[in-house]
Amino acid sequence: MTDFTTITACGECCVGCSKKINGECPGCIEADGRVPEWAQSGMCMIHACCKEHNARFCGLCSEFPCDKLPQMISWNPEIINHLSTLRDEYIISNLSDKYEVRRLSEEDIPKVFSLCKMNTLYYQYCPPFVSEQSIRDDMGALPPGKTAADKYYVGFFEEDRLVAVMDLIIAFPDNTTAFIGFFMTDVAVQNKGMGSNIITELCDAMSRLGMKEIRLCWVEGNPQAEHFWHKNGYKETGATTETETYTAIVARKELI
C-alpha cells in the first residue's frame, strides 16, 4: 500500500532518490516546493497549484485532470493515468479503517445480488426487485457530466464476506459535494451499528478529500431508510426527484 505522506504534488515519491540521499535536494514536501530545480522561480508551480487548490497531490484536485497538467508535468507522458491510479488508491484506502474496501467488478455481481435480494423491504418501496442485470447496469450508471473516474462502486468486506455495497460519486452535483447513489448492508448485520460506522468513516474521508457535504436520496415512505439517514445526520433539502414508480427525497449532510 502506498504511503501517501511521501507522495509529492506531481505524484512522485522522493524516497530512494539519489539527489535526496546525497543531500543535493531536500525534497519537495520537506522544502514546501522550494527545491534546486525551481531555484529561479521560487516554488515548484505544481506544488504551488496544489496548495492553491488545497489538494494533497494533483490527482485529488477538484479540477483534475486539467488542461495544463500535461504541460506542467511534461516529463511523464502517462501522468494522467499515473495520477488517476494514485487517486483511486487514496480514495478507496481512506473509506474505511475497519473493513477491506475495493471496487466491485463483474465477478462480484453474484455476491452483490446475494446481499441485495435479502433486503426485501428496500425493493418494496424502490421497485423493480434486484437482478444481476440491474446490478450490472448500476455499476456503469453515471449522472450527467460525470465519467467513470468519478464513480466508486465499492464493496466493504469482512475477511472474504461482502457486508456492504456503496455507489459513490465524487464531486457531484458540484465540485465540493459527494453523492451516495446507493448504500446497502447485509441484513444479517443491520441494527448493529455497522452501517452507521461505515457512513461515519465515509464522512471523514470525504472531508479530508475537500468535500463540503454529502447528498443522497431515499424513497418517500420507506421508514427504514428515513430512520437510518436521519439518525446519521442527513436532512431533507426540500427537493424531490420523481420516477414512474416512486418519489425520491433529496437529503444532505454538511461536513465539518
Q: Which domains are delineated in the chain?
A: 4-91 (no CATH), 96-254 (3.40.630.30)
The residue-averaged pLDDT of 55-62 equals: 89
Q: Is the pLDDT of residue 103 over 90?
A: yes
**Residue type for position 51:** K
Which pTM value belongs to this model? 0.88
Report the 10 Å Cβ neighbour count for 144: 6
C-alpha to C-alpha distance for 61 and 49, rounded to whole angstroms = 9
Q: Calculate the alpha carbon distances from 244 to 128, 219, 241, 247 in Å.
A: 11, 12, 10, 8
The residue-averaged pLDDT of 34-42 equals: 75
The residue-averaged pLDDT of 34-63 equals: 85
C-alpha to C-alpha distance for 182 and 78, rounded to whole angstroms = 33
Classify 76 as helix, strand or coil: coil
C-alpha to C-alpha distance for 112 and 116, rounded to whole angstroms = 6
pLDDT at 219: 97
| Higher-scoring residue by pLDDT: 35, 206 | 206
pLDDT at 40: 64
**What is the pLDDT of the chain when averaged over all its residues?**
93
C-alpha to C-alpha distance for 83 and 202, rounded to whole angstroms = 22
Q: Is the pLDDT of residue 36 over 90?
A: no
Residue 120: all three cell numbers together: 426485501
C-alpha to C-alpha distance for 172 and 163, rounded to whole angstroms = 26
The residue-averaged pLDDT of 26-52 equals: 85
Q: Is the pLDDT of residue 39 over 70?
A: no
pLDDT digits (tens, 9 = 90+) for 176-227: 999 999 999 999 999 899 999 999 999 999 998 889 999 999 999 999 999 9
Task: Tell me how far the alpha carbon of residue 179 is from its chain's centroid.
Answer: 9
The residue-averaged pLDDT of 111-125 equals: 97
Question: Are the C-beta atoms of 166 and 156 separated by less than 8 Å?
Answer: yes
pLDDT at 253: 98
Residue 37: all three cell numbers together: 530545480
pLDDT digits (tens, 9 = 90+) for 224-252: 999 999 999 999 999 999 999 999 999 99
The residue-averaged pLDDT of 3-29 equals: 89
CA atoms within 13 A on the CB side of 135: 23
pLDDT digits (tens, 9 = 90+) for 66-88: 888 888 888 888 888 999 999 99
Task: Tell me how far the alpha carbon of residue 174 is from its chain's centroid.
Answer: 14
Q: Is the pLDDT of residue 42 over 80?
A: no
pLDDT at 256: 80
pLDDT digits (tens, 9 = 90+) for 130-162: 999 999 999 999 999 998 989 999 999 998 999
